[in-house]
Amino acid sequence: MTTTAEPTARELGRARIRKEDARLITGRTRWTDNITLNGMLHIAMVRSPVAHARITGINVDAAKQLTGVVAVYSGTDLDAEQSAIPCAWPINAEATPPRHVSIAVDTVRFAGEIVAVVVARDAATAKDATELVEVDYDDLPPVLDMEEALGDATVIHPDFGSNKWVTFPFDSVAAGATTGPTADEAIAAAEADPDSIVVKRRWRQQRLIPAFMEPRSVVVDPTGEQLTMWSSTQVPHVLRTMLGVSLGLPEHKLRVIAPDVGGGFGGKLQVTPEEILSTLVARRMAKPVKWTETRSESMLSGHHGRDQIQDVTVAAKRDGTVTALKIELTADMGAYFGLFTPAVPVFGAFIGPAIYKFPSYAFVCTDVFTNKTPTDAYRGAGRPEATFAVERIMEELATELGRDPLELREQNWIKNTEFPFTNAGGLTYDSGNYEAATEKATALFDYAGLRREQEERRRSNDPVQLGIGVSVFTEMCGLAPSRLLGALGAGAGGWEHAAIRMLPTGKVEVVTGSSAHGQGHETAWSQIVADRLGVPFEDVEVLHGDTQVSPKGMDTYGSRSLPVGGTAVVKCADRVIEKATKVAAHLLEAAEGDIEFQAGRFSVKGTDKGVSIQEVVFATFLSHNFPEGIEPSLDSEYTFDPENFSFPHGTHLAAMEVDTETGRVSIRKYVCVDDVGSVVNPLIVEGQVHGGLAQGIAQALFEEANYDEQGTLVNGTFVDYTLPSAADLPSFTTDRTETPATSNPLGVKGVGEAGTIASTPAIVNGVLDAIRHLGVKQVEMPCTAQRVWRAIQDAQGGAK
């Protein structure tokens, strides 16, 4: 047997550089688009250029005649087989979602919807042939504005009868989360009370595009016993089951592989029309097929995120004590439902009260169809919207009351001594320490010093004004306790699976149902297992993303991998130790109760007798001298279902400079102190925070998917959908406090979305804080120079 190295010092909390980098920095990568199979055909999609129309004719003759084209299909050709794109969480069990077709049959409902599929021997020919497909459209009025859509002048899904899907209400009294008056009653009482104040605002969560760097790609191989799909997806397991359910394919005859996947951010948490159509075409052709999107296709047809109108009301006593919060949302679903479309805004319902002790709370969300690209999960999914609502309204309340925004927050937040605490949304926060994070953040930021500088600049009428933006956030992640998902009407559980295989030479294979696409699971899971089993970090291999290798999983989204999938790995390792203890006792001729395990070694209490875990593994492999009645294997599995969400929190402070003459906004300083509980790998945690911040800041300052009056996406390329570059962002000062979660043995909380959730309101609060004294009350996101300049001009009654 072989032992390569002694187990190193404690693995958990160690800034290990990543294992997975080796292939990524040398180009030895396995992106889906790299795959080439014998006889493989290439697919290109013909997409509707119009937002809403009847299809009156499709002529594919010219396309079919192009040399190299093998087939061209219209919706009519494929309709009998295409079934519908599944929605796993329709929120309302009584209503049936409108059918979401992969390829339009008689009506197109958003620009970008597929109307024909071209199959050719090479990708360039397939693309050329799409230009030769002639489609006749009879235009229908495009429904683009959410509020107008509610008037039902034009109904997008006539079968359904209305553009309004459902209204999802939450009331803290009805839910039993608070006693006393409802939010509506408390707001009405406050309006009539001179010692109270009511602040009501309306904001827009603009439409965003996830813009993962690797365009989506699908390869389907129908040859062989199983149909194999490679897809650039976050969710190979969900995809396999859904393909089975949707297309009626036997699940055991499907294998889904997510090879190296280049980012997702929710954008690859989907079962796509292209995956369905690639499967149908491969089956018809009996040959492998590949579809890879262009960036423009990706921006146009991959699902979008956010897009809500938020009406937010807070009531408080004049001394600053909050008495009610009401969040009313109108949410744009786009033309159809994807996997989680109607559920996304509803995620925000429960976390709306955030860090505050609201004695009453109400949330209502109205879901609306429009003739735009469907929306669905995008980094944070529901929680960025809710956090923006509450952190912006608390800022407005502080302004109205003339209070320091941090002080007003502290007056109302849940104190460290009050955990566990059940919020007005019915969630029980297991732990938190907002005081500690805020104290650290204000010190790093020099809050008092920057406030003084702000005063000086105002006094001197400096053309560049300084604003300080505050966001003290918490969020719910680590999706999720299965029974809770069930109660909310989800079509799946929230568990995660792990398996550990102890190889004869002492090496370890860890199989995880989480499906990493940049998060660093191969490194972090190795650390967990090395720590738990006392084996060298280098001896652990983490396998994921292939349903044949990892048959069971719920995949990666909602900052769930570590709190749920990581916990499954821990519990699984404990099973290995439990089994190995029996074998060690036999080998050491001692009673099982006298065996203790530490740092990879089983020893007999009070003696120097012991065996290494590798020796136990090898003895198990041989099984020559083995205890009777015991299975000769240490391999283990565990499926972990969390008892609660995890609740990361933190304090984010942004010093924003606004040039009042040009409207140009820049980030002078950004400090955040996040509490993500115990940390497995601080390097990875910090990286997740950086990336999260960049995306939250991008919403505040740079990005918006814009449609014209005809429903055409006008900035669907990287030329004009302005993803921030390195030159657009500053370096961030990040730090941590560590308040361990009590809901899992690692004490960890999710970290993937925290930065995005927290940063957007911090930036916008900072921009407004810089120019509010000029009379500016609001700047819509993204706060571009033009918008900021216009807001200042309007407030000053200047140039129009």
Partner 1 sequence: MAQVRVTVDGVEYADDVEPRMLLVYYLRERLGKTGTVVGCDTSNCGACTVHLNGRSVKSCSVLAVQADGGEVLTIEGLARDGELHPVQKAFNECHALQCGYCTPGMIMAAVDLLGDNPDPDEQEVREGIEGNLCRCTGYQNIVRAVQSAAKAMQPGAERPAEAPAPVAGGN
Amino acid identity for residue 682 in this structure? P
Please state the closest distance from residue 212 (CB atom) to partner 1, in A.
6
Please report whether residue 714 would count as binding partner 1 according to CB under 8 A. no
Please report whether residue 67 would count as binding partner 1 according to CB under 8 A. no
Q: d(Cα 356, Cα 758) in Å, to the nearest integer?
A: 15
Q: d(Cα 94, Cα 90) in Å, to the nearest integer?
A: 9
Please report whether residue 727 would count as binding partner 1 according to CB under 8 A. yes
Sheet holding 508-512, edge to edge: 540-543, 508-512, 496-502, 636-640
Q: CB burial class (10 A; 0-12, 13-18, 19+) of residue 461?
A: exposed
Please report whether residue 38 would count as binding partner 1 according to CB under 8 A. no
Please state the closest distance from residue 730 (CB atom) to partner 1, in A.
9
Please report whether residue 261 would count as binding partner 1 according to CB under 8 A. yes
Please report whether residue 666 would count as binding partner 1 according to CB under 8 A. no
Axis-axis angle for helices 521-533, 567-587 (nearest 10): 30
Q: d(Cα 379, Cα 385) in Å, to the nearest integer?
A: 11
- Sole binder of partner 1 in the list 1, 5, 13, 22 (CB under 8 A): 22
Contact 372, 704 (CB under 8 A): no
| Comparison of 305 and 506: residue with beta carbon closer to partner 1 | 305
Q: 10 Å Cβ neighbour count for 487?
A: 9
- Sole binder of partner 1 in the list 26, 179, 598, 625 (CB under 8 A): 26
Q: Which of 760, 762, 763, 794 is nearest to 777 (CA)?
A: 794
| Comparison of 232 and 278: residue with beta carbon closer to partner 1 | 232
Question: Of 17-25, 84-92, 595-603, 652-660, which segment contacts partner 1 by CB under 8 A?
Answer: 17-25
Q: Which of 380, 381, 309 is nearest to 338 (CA)?
A: 381
Please state the closest distance from residue 141 (CB atom) to partner 1, in A.
31
DSSP code per residue over 321-367: -EEEEEEEEEEEEESS--SSTTHHHHHHHHHTTTTB--S-EEEEEEE
DSSP code per residue over 516-563: -SSS-HHHHHHHHHHHHHT--GGGEEEE-SBTTTS-----S-TT-III
| Comparison of 592 and 718: residue with beta carbon closer to partner 1 | 718
Contact 690, 683 (CB under 8 A): no
Please report whether residue 27 would count as binding partner 1 according to CB under 8 A. yes
Please report whether residue 699 would count as binding partner 1 according to CB under 8 A. no
| Comparison of 17 and 448: residue with beta carbon closer to partner 1 | 17
Positions 160 through 189 that interact with partner 1 (CB under 8 A): none
Question: Of 162-170, 411-419, 658-666, 713-721, which segment contacts partner 1 by CB under 8 A?
Answer: 713-721
Please state the closest distance from residue 612 (CB atom) to partner 1, in A.
31
Contact 468, 409 (CB under 8 A): no
| Comparison of 355 and 698: residue with beta carbon closer to partner 1 | 698
Q: d(Cα 475, Cα 178) in Å, to the nearest integer?
A: 20
| Comparison of 18 and 109: residue with beta carbon closer to partner 1 | 18
For 72, 133, 441, the CA distances from 42, given in Å and listed in that order, are 12, 16, 53
Please state the closest distance from residue 128 (CB atom) to partner 1, in A.
10
Please report whether residue 295 would count as binding partner 1 according to CB under 8 A. yes
Please report whether residue 18 would count as binding partner 1 according to CB under 8 A. yes
Question: Of 370-378, 393-401, 517-525, 580-588, which segment contacts partner 1 by CB under 8 A?
Answer: 517-525
Please state the closest distance from residue 170 (CB atom) to partner 1, in A.
33
Q: Tell how far CA 670 is from the center of its chain.
A: 23
Question: Of 182-190, 433-441, 543-551, 719-727, which segment contacts partner 1 by CB under 8 A?
Answer: 719-727
Q: Output the CA angle 180-181-185, nearest 5 degrees.
A: 175
| Comparison of 29 and 416: residue with beta carbon closer to partner 1 | 29
Please report whether residue 518 would count as binding partner 1 according to CB under 8 A. yes
- Residue with the two structure tokens 């009539």: 192
Q: d(Cα 450, Cα 206) in Å, to the nearest integer?
A: 30
- Sole binder of partner 1 in the list 49, 426, 493, 687 (CB under 8 A): 687
Give the pairing type, strands 508-512 and 496-502: antiparallel
DSSP 142: -
Listed in sequence order, the residues at least 6 apart from 731 whose beta carbon sits closer than 8 Å to its beta carbon are: none
Please report whether residue 655 would count as binding partner 1 according to CB under 8 A. no
Q: Which of 699, 690, 682 is nearest to 733 (CA)?
A: 690
Please state the closest distance from residue 747 (CB atom) to partner 1, in A.
22
| Comparison of 82 and 270: residue with beta carbon closer to partner 1 | 270
| Comparison of 353 and 692: residue with beta carbon closer to partner 1 | 692
Please state the closest distance from residue 706 (CB atom) to partner 1, in A.
17
Positions 100 through 159 that interact with partner 1 (CB under 8 A): 124
| Comparison of 625 and 731: residue with beta carbon closer to partner 1 | 731
Query: Which contacts (CB < 8 Å, 24+ apart) does range 658-662 have?
Result: 658/464, 658/465, 658/466, 658/467, 658/767, 658/770, 658/771, 658/788, 659/463, 659/464, 659/785, 660/463, 660/464, 660/465, 660/771, 660/774, 660/792, 661/463, 662/785, 662/789
Please report whether residue 266 would count as binding partner 1 according to CB under 8 A. no
Q: d(Cα 385, Cα 348) in Å, to the nearest integer?
A: 7
- Sole binder of partner 1 in the list 458, 575, 690, 790 (CB under 8 A): 690
Please state the closest distance from residue 694 (CB atom) to partner 1, in A.
4
- Sole binder of partner 1 in the list 31, 160, 419, 621 (CB under 8 A): 31
Size of the residue set binding partner 1 (CB under 8 A): 55
Please report whether residue 725 would count as binding partner 1 according to CB under 8 A. yes
Please report whether residue 693 would count as binding partner 1 according to CB under 8 A. yes
Please report whether residue 3 would count as binding partner 1 according to CB under 8 A. no
Please state the closest distance from residue 104 (CB atom) to partner 1, in A.
24
Site string for partner 1, 192-231 (x = CB under 8 A): -------------------xxxxx----------------
Contact 774, 660 (CB under 8 A): yes
- Sole binder of partner 1 in the list 171, 260, 531, 675 (CB under 8 A): 260
- Sole binder of partner 1 in the list 77, 522, 686, 769 (CB under 8 A): 686
Please report whether residue 599 would count as binding partner 1 according to CB under 8 A. no
Contact 216, 232 (CB under 8 A): yes
For 85, 150, 161, 755, the CA distances from 90, given in Å and listed in that order, are 13, 19, 17, 28
The residues that bridge with 652 in the sheet, in sequence order, are 471, 672
Binding footprint of partner 1 on the chain (CB under 8 A): 17-18, 20-29, 31, 33-34, 124, 211-215, 260-263, 265, 294-296, 517-520, 683-684, 686-688, 690-695, 717-719, 723, 725-729, 731-732
